[in-house]
Structure 1
Amino acid sequence: MALAFDEQNPLTLVAVAELGERLNHVGVYLHVAEKRARIDALEQESAAPGFWDDGAAARRVMEELSRCRVDVASYDAAKAELSDVRAAFDLVDELTPEEAHEFMVEATATANAFVQRLDDMELASWFTQDFDHGDAIVTIKPGQGGLEAQDWAFMLFKMYLKYAERRNWKVTINDCPAAEVIGIDRATITVSGLNAFGMLRAEAGVHRLVRISPTDAKKRRQTSFASVEVIPVLPDDIEIDIAADDLRIDVYHASGPGGQGVNTTDSAVRITHLPTGIVVTCQNERSQIQNKAACMQILRARLYELELQKREETLDEIRGPKTAAGFGNQIRSYVLYPYQMVKDLRSGVETGNVNAVLEDGDLDAFVVGYHRWATGNAGDGAQEPEDLSNGA
């Protein structure tokens, strides 16, 4: 959610001071000073003899060390970028008008890069749930709207692939069978990358599309719905007891979006957990063994989610409230006709550039807006921020 400094919104010392204040508070939220000390302690621990004797414990230490390093490095890089922007103002009075304009264009580009980094750091500071920094399993299902809803589910599927590409996340398509006429019956993907689950939590819920129907000869307006479920990929050290007798495993020919066959053998796997009725299908791999392993990973995550629901009745902590994919329950509306707009009904974030969202996966403004809305952007006030308003 960059400030988009340009000719109509010029970069000023006041704007730079405001950015410095934002960075002050991000440093508080991220507990940068504590993380610097934590990095030293974890590095000493990892260098101790016998550190790798307990592989699981060692991996947890290294994962924490990596997260601390990323947060501190991002904060230090942001301070350097802010210092570069301030330096531009110190030099601009000594330049000719033409040189000053060119210099400020460069400073503006640096400021926009700084704001993007700041947005990412703010997001990271808000990720406090157990699995926010890890990978996510995203499931998209058509809701009300018939054939149009199946096509809408496919549009969302492609939007999230684009978003993952923008974020440099890896995507594994576990299951995406084509519907009989148009679109898809469902899609399940695993998204791997830094903060994937924390970011994608913003997308959990019902998504509404309004457009001229592509399948209606009379070109009438159609409203369609699809639901998005987001659950975390569980770490290996979390044990979920699944009895072999509780599973029914079926195999069949795999097929991809559009109905094309992707294998000539029975490589696709469907696992039904009989006690709960949970069904998981995977067909992205050519091996039954690999597809079965992927199914079991998703099943573990869903059973864990179900157990949380039984214990605490707070399913919202993992994926948001579960509602019917229909009228009155949407979290976001995508309107293509009679005007063009995408609006999140929780945070109020909106844009008229529908193509950037649906075709290019430009979702950052909505993700940032959701987390700012959900958290109130409140710090804990446990420490005073560094004074970055006038210098780095």
Structure 2
Amino acid sequence: MFEKLKLTEERYEEINQQLADPSVVSDNERFKSLMKEHKTLTPIVEKYREYAKYQQDFEEAKEMLNDGGLDKDFKEMVEEQYKSSQESIERCSEELKILLLPKDPNDDKNVIVEIRGGAGGDEAALFANSLYRMYSMYAESKRWKTEVLNANPTELGGFKEISFSISGEGAYSRLKFESGVHRVQRVPETETQGRVHTSTVTVAVLPEVEDVEVEINPGDLQIDTYRASGAGGQHVNKTESAIRITYLPTGLVVECQDERSQFKNKDKAMKILRSRLYEEKLREQNDKIASERKLQVGTGDRSERIRTYNYPQSRVTDHRIGLTLYKLEQVLNGDLDELTDALITFDQAEKLQAQGENY
């Protein structure tokens, strides 16, 4: 590990020198590439240098204690330095292992979130709206931007389905663990007997991809236009602005009717299609990786029940890591950090265990 860290530090210094070169600064593409690499290496190098400082303090204290001849007060101070440096070395070492884990290349990408009501009819559609609100409020707390791509609302104020993008630094890294089946247990307003009903909602989190990352042959697309329907504005049913794209090789269908403009709807539908096709590639790769690990938190399996929201008990339980929080209202108001941090920590521990033989 430390040989790798030394090489990383050397590369970091090399980049610093290149970034000071006017010819590099004037080359926009090269400059952007180096800045991106510099940003990635900075936390690793800073932590490595912190480790090296504690290592030096530890060696100095160890040498003074071995030489002996220290008066009582000074010896106590050196012993304290010895102990605290040792603890700091162990902490930095663990943090460095995490920083050196292979980075998910999608972590810095924006995301497309798709929410669909599952079992439970109107109640599931209402909870789909609750989840949309939860993710929107979480995005707002992170100063990320959200944009609805397609929505199919119900008369009661729910969503049969809704797709929206979230743009911001680290969006995918924080939201990728949300894919799967979300279960809600609550008493519907229409239930006169006060019985708790169970409904499900499916969430898919897709990294947003550029054209170059997914090659789509125009001949593989069937594009249909139709009149928008549902609880829209005055333009609904007046013009054929809604778009339906069918990807013929797999039969995958994407629809978008949120915009008045047919062109904008097509652009949004293509954005969703690219992300879904990219997700299929990722799933194939993840299947290979997951077979080497006991549990993979972020597989994104849409059929996997990942979380239960229990209203009577004000409880949220994430079944993948066995975490239960009694703060349902806060979570539904976008306070997702405690859940997300726990999932990230668990995922890192799994990866460290899988790579244990390298350290």
TM-score, normalised relative to structure 1: 0.65
Instruction: Give the Cα separation in 1 of the matches to 2:356 and 2:142.
Output: 31
2:217 maps to amino acid: A
Deviation of residue 372 (structure 1)?
A: 1.5
Other-structure match for 1:361? 334
Q: Output the aligned Cα RMSD.
A: 3.9
Instruction: Give the Cα separation in 1 of the matches to 2:209 and 2:330.
Output: 32
Other-structure match for 1:211? 186
2:243 maps to amino acid: V
2:254 maps to amino acid: V
- Report percent identity of matched pairs: 32
8 Å contact from structure 2 (residues 129, 159) kept in 1? yes
Q: From 340, 346, 350, give the equivalent of 1:373.
A: 346
Question: Deviation string for 1:218-265 (max 9, x for gaps)?
Answer: 332110111111121124542x22122221223345578xx2327455
Unaligned segments of structure 2, at least 5 residues: 51-95, 291-295
Unaligned segments of structure 1, at least 5 residues: 1-27, 79-120, 385-392
Q: 1:310 to 1:348 in 2, by over 3 A?
A: closer
2:346 maps to amino acid: W
8 Å contact from structure 1 (residues 251, 267) kept in 2? yes
Instruction: Give the Cα separation in 1 of the matches to 2:13 and 2:319.
Output: 44
- SS class of match (2:330): helix
Q: From 158, 161, 174, give the equivalent of 2:149.
A: 174
Other-structure match for 2:124? 149
Other-structure match for 2:222? 248
Instruction: Give the Cα separation in 2 of the matches to 1:308 and 1:318.
Output: 14
Q: 1:312 to 1:207 in 2, by over 3 A?
A: closer
Q: How many residues align?
A: 304
Q: From 48, 62, 74, give the equivalent of 2:35.
A: 62
8 Å contact from structure 1 (residues 152, 183) kept in 2? yes
Other-structure match for 1:277? 251
Give 1:284-295 correspondences, 5 Å limit.
Answer: 284-295=258-269
Instruction: Give the Cα separation in 2 of the matches to 1:168 and 1:73.
Output: 28
Q: From 315, 324, 344, give the equivalent of 1:350.
A: 324
8 Å contact from structure 2 (residues 44, 99) kept in 1? no
Instruction: Give the Cα separation in 2 of the matches to 1:318 and 1:292.
Output: 33
8 Å contact from structure 1 (residues 254, 261) kept in 2? no
Q: Which has the higher contact order (CA 8 A, sep 6+)?
A: 1
Other-structure match for 1:200? 175
Q: 1:214 to 1:64 in 2, by over 3 A?
A: farther
Question: Deviation string for 1:14-70 (max 9, x for gaps)?
Answer: xxxxxxxxxxxxxx99x9987665554334445452666684x6544333334445x
Q: Larger Rg: 1 or 2? A: 2
Deviation of residue 270 (structure 1)?
A: 2.5
Other-structure match for 1:165? 140
Q: 1:222 to 1:181 in 2, by over 3 A?
A: same
Deviation of residue 123 (structure 1)?
A: 8.9
Question: Deviation string for 1:191-227 (max 9, x for gaps)?
Answer: 1112211111111111110000123233321101111
